[in-house]
Structure 1
């Protein structure tokens, strides 16, 4: 029962991958998604259907998109360190925190984020989890 209550405090609860993608593509477009996420399904002949097919098979990419949805499109505040370690669909949004207007994104900001990621990765090694943490931290304010 406790898990049911917790999951309802997550904007991803009950939201299918196709609907999630439709929302962020309608708002940002495939070009911005590729610029920020660097996932080829958003660059080469992008479509909702082909992207959903790829993301269903590729956990790391799906989590990257879900993180983008939570912290850019829903513009949620930073999560606690305990929640940070959980996959996006298992995170609990604290009571009283509600989604805000989607973040304003630009190609210039995407390039700055990529440069910052590359610099941090070079400084601290290239472990997968480190890159994922940095990816999330770059968007949190």
Structure 2
């Protein structure tokens, strides 16, 4: 296993990222910051993870918000 010193998200799972953002912002504010339907219509961590794993541009936005908020 190689170390990734330049990857600030190394070791943090996507589920942790989404959960922390929801706890911090709530679904409504999160949807206003990142305009994606999985945060707007019947949001859940499970449905968000499914969408974010298939959609790289949305995942990039969520990861960037996480870094801006918590790092």
- How many residues were matched structurally? 70
Is the aligned partner of 1:26 residue 2:26? no
5+ unaligned residues in a row in structure 1: which ranges?
A: 75-98, 100-141
Q: What do residues 35-83 of structure 1 show as CA deviations (whole Å, max 9, x unaligned)?
A: 0110110000000000000000000000000001011x21xxxxxxxxx
Task: Give the Cα–Cα distance (whole angstroms) in 2 for the partners of residues 31 and 43 of structure 1.
Answer: 7
5+ unaligned residues in a row in structure 2: which ranges?
A: none
Q: How large is the RMSD of aligned CA atoms in angstroms?
A: 1.5
* Compared CA separation, residues 43 and 6, structure 1 to 2 (3 A): same
Task: Give the Cα–Cα distance (whole angstroms) in 2 for the partners of residues 17 and 4 of structure 1.
Answer: 19
Bigger Cα Rg: 1
From the two aligned structures, give the one with the greater helix fraction: 2
Match of 1:45 among 38, 42, 45: 42
